[in-house]
Amino acid sequence: MTSLTLLSTGLMGLLVVATFVAVAEIGAKRVAPGDDEAGGRYEAIVGALGEVARTPVVWAVSFVGITVLVGGSILLGVGSFGIPEGLAGTLVNVAYLVVGLLLVGFVFLGAYFATRSRGLGNAHGVAAGTLATGAAFLVLVTVQLVVGVVG
């Protein structure tokens, strides 16, 4: 129970920080398109991250890293390697969390990029991603109530 409280506290703290960052970005000075000073450091960071994200080696290393993280935590959690029982359960929960975040990210970003590729704006993409993620969550809750597949 304590770990759930700590997890909830950490997630709420991240949400507060993300809210403050979003509000700070919204209040930023807007510049006309085509202005050479538009973006500045922001454009440089976005460009650098875009180049990294387009590199196949980064995707391969990320996939291997996530696979090793999930597989290793499951093996350590269910195997008898002399790990304390409380830590073993935590490792399995970490694996569940990582897989859940990957699935949520897949649903959200899939809907977002599908909307953006059809010529709609960022707000439409975020709305579609949020709607798809919420619908998937409702389906999961319904299946859990009817069949009981989780936990």
Q: Is 4 part of a structural domain of the chain? A: no
pLDDT of amino acid 135: 93
Contact call for residues 128 and 112 (beta carbons, < 8 A): yes
Q: Is 130 part of a structural domain of the chain? A: yes
Q: Is 33 part of a structural domain of the chain? A: no
Which parts of the chain sit beneath pLDDT 70?
A: 1-2, 24-39, 150-151
Q: Is 23 part of a structural domain of the chain? A: no
Q: Is 1 part of a structural domain of the chain? A: no
pLDDT of amino acid 26: 63
Q: Is 6 part of a structural domain of the chain? A: no
pLDDT of amino acid 131: 94
Residue 109's contacts (CB-CB under 8 Å, 6 or more residues apart) are 129
Q: Which pTM does this prediction carry?
A: 0.60
Place of tokens 């969550």: 137
Q: Is 3 part of a structural domain of the chain? A: no
Q: Is 30 part of a structural domain of the chain? A: no
Residue range(s) defining the domain that contains residue 104: 42-148
Mutual angle of helices 85-117 and 56-78, in 10-degree steps: 150
| Number of folded domains that form the chain | 1
> Which ranges constitute the DSSP H helices of 27-84?
41-53, 56-78
